[in-house]
Amino acid sequence: MAPHAEGPNGLANGSGSGAVNNDLFTVSSPNVTYTDNDITSKYTYRTTAVTKNANGKLTAANKEMAYEFKTDRRIPKTGVMLVGWGGNNGTTITAGILANKRNLEWETREGKRAANYYGSVIMGSTIKLGNDAATGEEIHVPMHDMLPMVHPNDLVVGGWDISGMNLADAMDRSQVLEPGLKTLVRKELAALKPLPSIYYPDFIAANQEARVDNVIPGTTASTAHVEQIRKDIRDFKQANGLNTVIVQWTANTERYADMVAGVNDTADNLLAAIEAGHTEVAPSTIFAVASILEGVPFINGSPQNTFVPGAIELAQRHSAFIGGDDFKSGQTKMKSALVDFLISSGIKLTSIASYNHLGNNDGMNLNSQKQFRSKEISKSNVVDDMVAANSVLYKEGEHPDHCVVIKYMPAVGDNKRALDEYYGEIFLGGHQTISIFNVCEDSLLASPLIIDLVIVAEMMTRIGWRLAGSEGEFKGFHSVLSILSFMLKAPLVPQGTPVVNALAKQRSCMNNIFRACVGLEPENDMTLEHKLFAGKSS
């Protein structure tokens, strides 16, 4: 059994700070420098700039910009604090990390199962490194080995919840994991109890009130709430000897906060509104503000508008990382892949109908119309960029009909049923209909994504950039971590930046930023070496 320790309010699996991962590969290039502490790469970023004249004629021109990237190779001891730690996702993540740390196996009615990180893009997928110099065979490496990344087994887990139930009992309440696995981790989880959270009744469904027994006093925004959350982060960090903490919202979906001039439109107004106890400041925004002021990344895994303009401005002011919104695990991930495939194949989608029913606590909360509306927005906008990219199929103002329905059905528990119909026009007035029935084991799909978000967010805190040839300091990336888009339904992007929802583009972005940090060119699937005839010249 691998050793582990329990810190105050946290499952501690950390291996100590300052470790450097074993390099699976090195890049042989004059543009890449390795030291014990850093990888520095010189990288030429190539894009195509397009201009349009008054007659609508387009002119395309190649554009280049030279950068230097510096990546700290020293892997910090990292903690993750989950808001909603006692929920389905929080208990599943905690049990899952412990199971992997201890290499657990357990019996199910389908036979023996073993701990793994399937469903994690970082831990379960690979990147093409290049082609074998002798045979031309493609060489792939685990994505986790592209850069020195935190291993999820080493994460220290803690957090808050409006329910004070210990994590073992909360795991039973969630009804996600197999009995055999629950038995093996029960003792450790029983010793873990969430910190008191904040509860503003107007922001979540009234049917959640029965769970509320572990809250910080006060039912509207306050500076005291911000300061308590900041103290909790500091205490957790100190108690577990951490170098870095990532905070992530995996609690209930909130209603949308109203945008009110003078309240949440600027950083200063938002801070003043919190101090004044304004009723349009959501709990998730309080956690975001506390994290920003404490200098730790905050990721929103629910669909509400946590990141009001004032919160985004505050993050930029403090150079703090934020990312969101809403975990993208099952139905929406399928949609963002399938719609991209159909439209890029020249098929004109004219309607998308998505129906869900689920029986977990998320489903019960979404039974309230205001909370459902937040989810409806995040699930409905995921096709917009793909439609806008094809002016052949869609004239200005055209858009497929898109309907999203979610119903609460207690009997199915965490095994969400997702039914989708895609209806489109094909050649000569014909039609194609694709119907999909998808059983999404909700928390078992979402939990690996939460781990991915932690790993990538932490990784980005160790990457700096500057213009090539500059003697200036290396800067961090933009406060809005759009590199996280692959894992999120409604990805937050810097103001003025187009939102990308197409799944392949999101994955390519992440792959190629990692490649740039080690001085490799973007992935290239042209394989000209196999396509060009090397015969006699004419």
Q: Annotated catalytic sites, by residue?
A: 326, 375, 416, 489
Place of tokens 């996702």: 89
State how far the Cα of 340 lies from the Cα of 343, in Å rounded to an integer: 5
Instruction: Report which residue type is found at 451.
Output: I
Q: Is 102 in contact with 177 (CB distance < 8 Å)?
A: no
Please, are residues 4 and 145 in contact by the beta-carbon 8 Å criterion?
Answer: no
Distance separating alpha carbons of residues 36 and 20, to the nearest angstrom: 8
Which element (helix H / strand E) includes 244? strand 244-249
15-40 burial, b if ≥16 CB within 10 A, otherwise e?
eeeebeeeeeeebeeeebeeeeebbb
Nearest partner of 93 among 263, 252, 250, judged by Cα? 250
Distance separating alpha carbons of residues 236 and 294, to the nearest angstrom: 13
Q: Determine the Cα–Cα distance for residues 504 and 300; give it in Å rounded to an integer.
A: 22
Take residue 381 and report the two structure tokens written for it: 């906008």
How far apart, in whole angstroms, are the C-alpha atoms of residue 520 and residue 443? 35
Q: In this structure, are residues 322 and 240 in contact, taking their beta carbons and an 8 Å threshold?
A: no
Both tokens assigned to 18: 């300052």
Residues 6+ apart with CB under 8 A from 527: none
Task: Give the rounded distance of the alpha carbon of 464 from its chain centre.
Answer: 21
Angle between helices 442-460 and 88-101 (to 10 degrees): 70
Q: Is 260 exposed, middle or buried (0-12, 13-18, 19+ CB in 10 A)?
A: middle
Number of H helices, E strands in the chain: 15, 22
Per-residue tokens: 501: 């929802």
Q: Which two tokens stand for residue 337?
A: 């892949």
- How far, rounded to the nearest angstrom, does the alpha carbon of residue 451 sit from its chain's CA centroid? 8
Question: Cβ distance 486 to 119 under 8 Å?
Answer: no
Closest CA to 503 of 341, 367, 286: 341
Other C-beta atoms closer than 10 Å to the C-beta of 81 total: 27
Angle at the Cα of 341 from the Cα atoms of 336 and 343, rounded to 5 degrees? 95
Q: Strand 126-131 relative to strand 5-7: parallel, antiparallel, unpaired?
A: unpaired
Where b means 16+ CB within 10 Å and e means fewer, 66-75 reads eebbbbbbeb
Least Cα distance to 125 among 448, 371, 353, 526 occurs for 448
Partner residues linked to 491 by β-bridges:
none
